Amino acid sequence: MKVQRIAGALGAEILDIDLSRSFSKEKLREVFLEHQVIFFRDQTLDPAQFMAFARAMGKPIEYPFVKGIAGFPEVIEVKKLEHERHAFGGIWHSDTAYLDEPPMGSMLLAREIPPFGGDTLFASQYLAYDALSSEMKKLLSGLKAVNSSSKADVTRTREDMVKEYSRKYEAEHPVVRTHPETGRKALYVNFGHSVRFAGMSDEESAPLLDFLFRHQIKPEFTCRFAWRVGSLAFWDNRCAQHNPVNDYHGHRRVMHRITLAGDRPR
């Protein structure tokens, strides 16, 4: 198993590994925690093998708004069809931050990809926090953010269309969370779900939130991954955000995703 970084901020590709066979879970976990998002190529995994890998890394859970594929309730299909203009989750976000216990991580496996485009961007929230001034860190240290599954002003995505017919989720989490495994601090607000600071109005919260949303996705905090069929990404939702680039209109993109259980941010 070889590890090759893909950017200065975060992200590493794991080479010479077949996830359908035995591998060192401890070593892979170590690399995952160091690089925040890890990538694999040419993984011909069927749903059962995909689930086996997910179970080796954590506890797969069902996604709150989308039913799983036949026989595998924890595996959802993330797709954009040829005639569609909106992508699933097509904004910068941390997965389901509106839950009381947001996921530890998520895995995405490419089944069908467009002939061009459809890359995914990732941003390190460790680096975003570290780059803040000491006074800003003090200001944020006592704040909590309200995160909602129905944020009104978000650019519409296929996920939002599903949500219209579902219950609303809302949770308060620290604006700065401490990673339970590494002990590092990370920003934990996101454009997709964070609506205001607890105890403040939307209007009062907007200026600071807008600054944080712009700050936390600066190019120097990011990496970009180009998919191929059989590519797999596994990201740490506690310290990284992601954004699927919606630049392949007229083409089909189909992925399988598994979400892993997390804990309450602290």
User: So which residues are the catalytic ones?
Assistant: 93, 95, 242, 257
- Asked whether 189 and 212 are in contact (CB, 8 A), the reply is yes
Residue 24 burial (10 A CB sphere; 0-12, 13-18, 19+): exposed
d(CA 178, CA 215): 19
In total, the chain counts a number of residues equal to 266
* Residue linked to tokens 């200026």: 207
DSSP collapsed to 3 states, 143-160: CEEEEECCCCCCCCCHHH
**Beta strands in 62-191, from DSSP E residues, in sequence order:** 75-80, 105-112, 120-124, 144-148, 170-174, 176-178, 185-187
User: How far is it, in rounded angstroms, from Cα 34 to Cα 23?
Assistant: 18
Token pair for 13: 């590709």
